[in-house]
């Protein structure tokens, strides 16, 4: 049971054990969720249905069934979110995670985020397990559709088979991309350090990864503004914004003296 919960606003100092484990580790996996992008101005998944979208239930909206029932509405919701992303840039949390990839020779970032901000911040070893909102695919054949012609019909049609085009993201009840998920499980079960950042850890199978890492012997820590469902099962919870905590952590890992 994790009784180690540090509130970085109140406690100021990071636990010595955490810094030592981070410094001694050879391999590191970071799992991110919507909280990491929140400070860039991207609404978290569960805050994404606001304004004209507030009458919808988010977990019923991000499903193949919802798309079948109302493809235009679902497509428009994703267009709205794509437009929001146009002027959005990575924040200090994203850049700190890119820094971690330079610190650890064996580094993987597993992200549930579909906004592409980790690539923009400079991370290379990225596994996007819930897809990417910038890509589209055929609803029936699952093939990537690169150049969609935006005509009168919404959503547009696949040029090959005439089915609707949809965003290349993973909806509820859909399998996750095979390579990305298998690799995520592999690296989670082999790493020394596993950092969970800005995720509610309620969506599976992503929420299983920290537990896989913990069971395989990794030091598992999370950074979140509030406790989550996994807080009691891991080694350390640091309460605070990822845009503040992650840069401090990377600074401390790199510092010669840190006390």
Instruction: Return the range that interacts with ligand BJW (CB under 6 A); candidates 13-21, 66-74, 146-154, 198-206.
Output: 198-206
Distance of CA 135 to the CA centre of its chain: 17
**Selected binder of ligand BJW within 199, 231, 237, 250 (CB under 6 A):** 199
Nearer to ligand BJW, 56 or 258 (CB): 56
Among the listed residues 220, 239, 219, the one whose alpha carbon sits nearest the alpha carbon of residue 228 = 239
Nearer to ligand BJW, 159 or 205 (CB): 205
What distance in Å separates the CA atoms of residue 127 and residue 114, rounded to the nearest whole number? 11
Annotated catalytic residue: which of 118, 119, 130, 173? 130
Minimum separation from the CB atom of position 258 to ligand BJW (A): 23
Residue nearest to ligand BJW (CB): 35
Instruction: Return the range that interacts with ligand BJW (CB under 6 A); candidates 65-73, 99-107, 144-152, 168-176.
Output: 168-176
Minimum separation from the CB atom of position 32 to ligand BJW (A): 8
37 phi, psi to nearest 5 deg: -90, -10
**Selected binder of ligand BJW within 39, 76, 79, 106 (CB under 6 A):** 39
Q: Residue 205, preceding bond cis, omega within 30 degrees?
A: yes
What distance in Å separates the CA atoms of residue 259 and residue 246, rounded to the nearest whole number? 17
Minimum separation from the CB atom of position 51 to ligand BJW (A): 16
**173-181 CB contacts, 8 Å cutoff, 24+ apart:** 173/63, 173/64, 173/65, 174/64, 176/129, 176/130, 176/205, 177/128, 177/129, 177/131, 180/110, 180/127, 180/128, 180/129, 181/129, 181/205
**Selected binder of ligand BJW within 51, 151, 162, 175 (CB under 6 A):** 175
Supply angle C-alpha 111, 138, 86, rounded to 5. Answer: 50
Site track 54-93 with ligand BJW (rule: CB under 6 A), x = hit: -----x--x-------------------------------
What distance in Å separates the CA atoms of residue 161 and residue 144, rounded to the nearest whole number? 12
Site track 200-219 with ligand BJW (rule: CB under 6 A), x = hit: x-xxxx--------------
Per the annotation, the verdict on 94 as an active-site residue is no
Positions marked catalytic: 130
Interface with ligand BJW (CB under 6 A): 33-35, 38-39, 44-46, 59, 62, 112, 114, 130, 169-175, 198-200, 202-205, 224-226, 228, 241-242
């Amino acid at each position: 049971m994790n009784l180690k919960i540090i509130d970085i606003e109140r406690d100021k100092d990071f636990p010595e054990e955490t810094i030592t484990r981070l410094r001694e580790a050879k391999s590191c996996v970071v799992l991110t969720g919507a909280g990491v992008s929140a400070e860039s101005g991207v609404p978290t998944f569960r805050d994404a249905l606001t304004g004209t979208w507030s009458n919808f239930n988010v977990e019923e909206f991000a499903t193949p069934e919802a798309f079948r029932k109302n493809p235009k509405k679902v497509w428009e919701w994703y267009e709205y979110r794509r437009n929001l992303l146009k002027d959005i840039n990575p924040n200090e949390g994203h850049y700190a995670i890119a820094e971690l990839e330079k610190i650890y020779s064996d580094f993987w970032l597993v992200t549930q985020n579909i906004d592409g901000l980790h690539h923009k911040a400079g991370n290379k070893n990225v596994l996007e397990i819930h897809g990417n909102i910038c890509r589209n695919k055929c609803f029936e054949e699952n093939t990537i559709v690169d150049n969609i012609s935006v005509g009168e019909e919404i959503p547009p049609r696949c040029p090959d088979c005439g089915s609707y085009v949809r965003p290349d993201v993973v909806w509820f009840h859909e399998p996750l991309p095979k390579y990305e998920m298998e690799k995520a499980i592999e690296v989670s079960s082999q790493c020394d350090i596993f950092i969970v950042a800005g995720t509610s850890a309620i969506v599976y199978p992503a929420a299983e990864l920290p537990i896989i890492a913990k069971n395989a012997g990794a030091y598992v820590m999370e950074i979140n503004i509030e406790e989550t469902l996994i807080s009691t099962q891991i080694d350390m919870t640091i309460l605070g914004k990822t845009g503040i905590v992650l840069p401090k952590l990377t600074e401390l890992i790199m510092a010669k003296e840190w006390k």
